[in-house]
Amino acid sequence: MTSLGIYVHIPFCLSKCAYCDFYSKCGTKGEYNKYTEALCYHIESSDMRSSGYEVDSIYFGGGTPTAIGARNLIKILGSIYRSFIISDTCEITLEANPNSVDLTMLRKLHRAGFNRISFGMQSASAAELQILGRTHTFEDVKNAVTAARKAKFDNISLDLMFALPNQTIGDFLDSLDAAIELSPEHISCYILKLEEGTPLAKSLDAASLPSEDNQADMYLAAVTRLSDEGYEQYEISNFAKEGFRSHHNMKYWTLGDYLGFGPSAHSLMDKKRFSYIRDTEKYIAALEEDGDVTEKSEDISTAERCAEYLMLGLRTCDGISADILENNYLVSFDKIEKVLLRYHESGHTDFDGLKWRLTPEGFLISNHIISEVLDALEASKHILDLLSKE
């Protein structure tokens, strides 16, 4: 059977964070229930039990999935179980805000099948959490992790942000140490991106942000600290204890098939990419009318898949290989290798004899390197063209 990931988008939050431009809004109990009904209908009407796919990863993201309550989340998971073949080892993740869960809720969720939980911690500093407009404290994070362990979650992830206004390297490392102290299996560290139009972008004095050099120092210090504590870096922003890489993330980065549900959710299946209507009310209305909620759909050519292989592979510590490029995509690696060799001299890339990958210093300028690699791909010859000239 072909493995498949499922992503479920819950477009609700209990309040809106100052830096966030994701598609989510605050809702009422009635809206949560109505949305759940619509989503379950959508999932069950795409019944894929005899499609040859087996689901090995389910991810509830948002928004704040826990905002809609355990009852609704369990209902949605039930619809997935009824409509797909689920692998015995399927990783079922739930994103949660630390102050949106308690022990009773977590026990119910774990009993229903959720086996991984990802908490948005962001920082251990009360002042930084306030700037970000987060409504929880670090105490809430500690309580949430303790409750999740009691509820038997043995796979917990914490999200952190850095390069926050007025943040020093020491401040960030204090937050990172506080996260490590809680012994999560997985930690993500994201740089704060100021999204245009958000309250934070409007109110912030740009001079309060750490300089690029300081941001780079924070990142490299985090990579070292996490590595010393046994967290393997497996992607630019993601670190995991052995065996705890996120299945959902890996699905994206290795071009695996995944199917999304909910407004704005994206899917990649059978070399086709499609996304659903971004507006919750319109998404529900379309389901009630004719069931067609597709907003965009495009076939992905082999050339696009090849570019994605390079782009996504260079984001991960697994990297890219000449063999895959030449055997699967029939493209010569020579010009790409020249770019990677040049960056090898400056310590930005690494080669183990089989695969090329970016070093932590390379990740800091990954956009730059990837763009040069893609230019080299454009200029590269198709293997069949080369053979015909020999």
Q: Is 99 in the site for ligand SF4 (CB under 6 A)?
A: no
Q: Are 156 and 186 in contact (CB under 8 A)?
A: yes
Q: Which among 20-28, 147-155, 259-267, 345-353 is the span making contact with ligand SF4, rule CB under 6 A?
A: 20-28
Q: Is 66 in the site for ligand SF4 (CB under 6 A)?
A: no
Least Cα distance to 296 among 274, 323, 314, 326 occurs for 274
**Tokens standing for residue 317:** 């510590």
* Single-letter amino acid, residue 59: Y
User: Radius of gyration of the chain from Cα atoms?
Assistant: 22
CB of 180 to ligand SF4, least distance (A): 22
Answer for which of 36, 57, 66, 97 binds ligand SF4 (CB under 6 A) is 97
Kind plus residue range of the DSSP H or E element containing 144: helix 138-150
| Interatomic CA distance for residues 341 and 362, integer angstroms | 12
Q: What is the 8-class DSSP label of residue 53?
A: E
CB of 20 to ligand SF4, least distance (A): 3
**Tokens standing for residue 246:** 């996120």
CB of 75 to ligand SF4, least distance (A): 21
Cβ nearer to ligand SF4, comparing 56 with 95: 95
| Spatial CB neighbours of 230, under 8 Å, sequence gap ≥ 6 | 241, 242
Q: Is 362 in the site for ligand SF4 (CB under 6 A)?
A: no
**Tokens standing for residue 226:** 């996490």
Q: Which among 15-23, 163-171, 199-207, 268-276 is the span making contact with ligand SF4, rule CB under 6 A?
A: 15-23
Q: Are 224 and 1 in contact (CB under 8 A)?
A: no
Residues 107 to 166: which contact ligand SF4 by CB under 6 A? Answer: 120
Answer for which of 5, 27, 63, 262 binds ligand SF4 (CB under 6 A) is 63
Residues forming beta bridges with residue 2, ordered by sequence position: 53
Burial of 191 (0-12, 13-18, 19+ CB in 10 A): middle
Residues 173 to 232: which contact ligand SF4 by CB under 6 A? Answer: none
Cβ nearer to ligand SF4, comparing 24 with 167: 24
Answer for which of 22, 81, 190, 351 binds ligand SF4 (CB under 6 A) is 22
What is the end-to-end Cα distance of the chain in Å, rounded?
Answer: 41
Cβ nearer to ligand SF4, comparing 10 with 376: 10
Q: Is the peptide bond before 362 cis (omega within 30 degrees of 0)?
A: no
Answer for which of 4, 10, 13, 320 binds ligand SF4 (CB under 6 A) is 13
Q: How far is CA 41 from CA 89, 122, 279, in A?
A: 26, 34, 17
Cβ nearer to ligand SF4, comparing 16 with 305: 16
Q: Is 24 in the site for ligand SF4 (CB under 6 A)?
A: yes
Answer for which of 3, 20, 335, 366 binds ligand SF4 (CB under 6 A) is 20
CB of 340 to ligand SF4, least distance (A): 35
Cβ nearer to ligand SF4, comparing 16 with 273: 16
CB of 225 to ligand SF4, least distance (A): 24
Answer for which of 5, 27, 62, 362 binds ligand SF4 (CB under 6 A) is 62
Cβ nearer to ligand SF4, comparing 63 with 165: 63
Longest CA–CA separation in the chain, Å: 70
Burial state string for 195-204 with b = 16 or more CB within 10 A and e = fewer than 16? eeebebeeeb
CB of 295 to ligand SF4, least distance (A): 20
Q: Are 238 and 249 in contact (CB under 8 A)?
A: yes
Q: Is 280 in the site for ligand SF4 (CB under 6 A)?
A: no
What phi and psi values does residue 244 have, to the nearest 5 degrees?
A: -120, 25
Q: Is 16 in the site for ligand SF4 (CB under 6 A)?
A: yes
Question: Where along the sequence are the contacts to ligand SF4 (CB under 6 A)?
Answer: 13, 16-17, 20, 22, 24, 62-64, 97, 120
